[in-house]
Structure 1
Amino acid sequence: MGSVEKSKENLSKCICMKCPSYSFACKMKAMPKNVMSMMKGDISKVEHMEGLFCSFGISKCITEEKGCICGDCKVYKENNLTNSYYCLVENGK
Structure 2
Amino acid sequence: MSKVEFSVMNIKRCICPECPVQAESICAKGKWRLMQEIAWASETGIYFEADRVPGMYCSTGKALCKDLNPKKMCICERCPVWKENDLKNGEPSLYFCQNGESKK
TM-score by length of 1: 0.75
2:76 is aligned with 1:70:
yes
Number of aligned positions between the proteins: 90
Among 45, 56, 74, which residue is 1:52 paired with?
Answer: 56
Q: Confirm or deny: 8 A CA contact 2:20 2:73 kept in the other structure.
A: yes
Query: What pairs with 1:12-27 in structure 2 (closer than 5 Å)?
Result: 12-24=12-24, 25-27=26-28
Runs of 4+ with >6 A deviation:
none
Q: 1:72 to 1:31 in 2, by over 3 A?
A: closer
Counterpart of 2:44 in structure 1 is 41
Structure 1 residue identity aligned to 2:49: V
Aligned mates of 1:16, 1:81 — CA distance in 2: 15
Q: Which protein is bigger by CA-based radius of gyration?
A: 2
Q: CA deviation at 1:33?
A: 5.2
**Alignment RMSD, CA only?**
2.4
Aligned mates of 2:17, 2:34 — CA distance in 1: 14
Aligned mates of 2:4, 2:96 — CA distance in 1: 12
> CA-to-partner distance for each residue in 1:21-75, whole Å, 9 max, x for gaps?
01332333323554556647136x8343321111121112225331100011000
Counterpart of 2:32 in structure 1 is 31
Among 91, 95, 100, which residue is 1:85 paired with?
Answer: 95
Identify, as 1 or 2, the structure richer in helix.
Answer: 2
